[in-house]
Amino acid sequence: MKKTTIFIVGGSQEQTYKKIGKKAGCDILFHNGKARNGGVKKAFEPMVKKADCVVVLAGACGHETMYSIKELCKANQIEVVFQKGFGASGAVNAALDRLKSVA
């Protein structure tokens, strides 16, 4: 069985997200949500394509990042969750819950 891959966008706790993801039995991809020189889509597209679900930490990202992620997920038929909190376990659980609900 393929391991679930979750892409978390926003925040600064990369190691914590990966640790929680490992405990939950999934791989975590991470980006802090900041992209330079307007290359937002280019920065996120490879990771979105690798993910089964994307979690955007809404309070830790700008609007342009959120819009780009939403558009990329729609184009690639990837589930996306906009999470209000910053907690690592909340982000991972939100993705796993979304994947269960569409399965």
Give the residue carrying structure tokens 């949500």.
Answer: 33
Nearest partner of 96 among 65, 51, 66, 58, judged by Cα: 51
Domain count, the chain: 1
CB 70 within 8 A of CB 95: no
Res 35 pLDDT > 80: no
For residue 103, give both structure tokens.
């399965």
CB 53 within 8 A of CB 95: yes
For residue 52, give both structure tokens.
């089964």
In angstroms, how far is CA 33 from the centroid of its own chain? 10
Q: What CATH number corresponds to the domain at position 82?
A: 3.40.50.2300
The pLDDT tens digits for 37-81 are: 666 788 899 999 999 999 999 988 888 899 999 999 999 999 999
Instruction: Determine the structural domain holding residue 81 and report its residue range.
Output: 4-102
In this structure, the number of other CB atoms found within 10 A of the CB of residue 15 comes to 11
